[in-house]
Structure 1
Amino acid sequence: MNFRIILLWLLAVFYAIAGYAHIASPDGFLAIMPDWVPYPGAVVFWTGVAELLGAAGLVQPWRPQLRKAAGIGLALYALCVWPANINHFAMDLARDDGGMGLIYHVPRMIAQPIIIWLALWVSGTTNWPFRSQK
């Protein structure tokens, strides 16, 4: 099994767990939602559905086009939820006790573009920065 397939399955499991958590336990996600987001409960629910569908799309073996669509969708999803992560960073550090601190938030901020790229790479949408295997 090659490295790309292993990471594809890890990313799919990550998104499946996150999707389930969004639906089963939305309170933590609602707490970090920026105030300007309308219908926060519906947004959290539907982001969970999007994560579950994206995870399923990544691992289905029948249609490479669907895998690529899932990768693009998950990359766009990760980009769109970045404001909630930034909001969580700001809210958490503003707490009197410093919240989870920089040791949690800085790696999380660095991980976001990596997760975006990873969704595109494992789905076969991009080979960057690696050489083409053709």
Structure 2
Amino acid sequence: MLFIALLITLGLLAALADRLGAPGLANWPARMRLAMALALLLAGSDHLLNPQRYLPMMPELLPYPLGLVLFTGLCELAGAIGLLLPRWRRWAALALALYFVCVFPANIKNALDGLNVAGLPAASWYYWLRLPFQPLIILWALYAGEWIGRPRVEQASWEPVE
């Protein structure tokens, strides 16, 4: 839930920056891309700098929990950079949507087991409330990458040309 709050806050700040004349933020996909990239840069860096915070979130059946935490941090950083590169933004957004699907089981585990980790909320309701936001994060990535919400291109007519 902290991640979605960060996305919304950064998205609104990007909209404000557009109002103040910042270039490249004239539409919502651009604002949402920047917001997600910044949020992922923060989250990915935290995964690499403080992996012990994320180890209790890992489902027990997954091998190499430390390696997976570090890998997820690298995925978040790569996704953030990819969103900012026009040539890669659509594929980065698609990969991030898949990534957010893949980490959902860890969110379910946290809701079922609860967490007591420094720097993270201890209340179990937080982790239950967080679950319905995961689809919104997936949709955010797809919209930011312009996989959804793109203007429709009119279909060419198949009528013969005279």
| TM-score band, normalised by shorter chain | 0.7 to 0.9
Q: Which of the residues 75, 78, 100 maps onto 2:123?
A: 100
In the other structure, the counterpart of 2:106 is 84
Q: CA RMSD of the aligned region, Å?
A: 1.5
Partner of 1:126: 148
User: Which of 60, 67, 75 in structure 1 is aligned with 2:97?
Assistant: 75
Partners in 1 of 2:66 and 2:124 — Cα distance?
Answer: 27
* 1:132 aligned partner, one-letter code: P
C-alpha distance after superposition, 1:22-74 (max 9, x if no partner): 1100111101111001111110101100100000000113x1xx111100111
The structure 2 residue matched to 1:4, chosen from 29, 33, 52, is 29
Which of 75, 85, 107 matches 1:50?
A: 75
Cross-structure match for 1:16: 41
Unaligned runs of 5+ in 1: 94-98
Equivalent residue of 1:36, what SS? coil
Higher gyration radius (CA) = 2
Number of residue-to-residue matches in the alignment: 122
Which aligned runs of 4 or more in structure 1 are off by greater than 6 angstroms?
Answer: none
Shift of 1:83: 0.6
Whose helix fraction is larger, Structure 1's or Structure 2's? Answer: 1
| Equivalent in the alignment of 2:64 | 39
- After superposition, the C-alpha distances for 1:84-134 in whole angstroms (9 at most, x for unaligned) are 1111111118xxxxx4131x223311110011111111101222xxx7254
Q: Distance in 1 between matches of 2:75 and 2:68?
A: 10
Asked which structure has the greater RCO (Cα within 8 Å, sep 6+), the reply is 1
* Equivalent residue letter for 1:80: C
> Which stretches in structure 2 are left out of the alignment for 5+ residues?
1-25, 116-121, 154-162
CA shift for structure 1 position 6: 1.0
Q: Which amino acid aligns with 1:100?
A: A
Normalization by structure 2: what TM-score? 0.71
Distance 2:91 2:99 in 1: 12
**What percentage of aligned pairs have identical amino acids?**
37
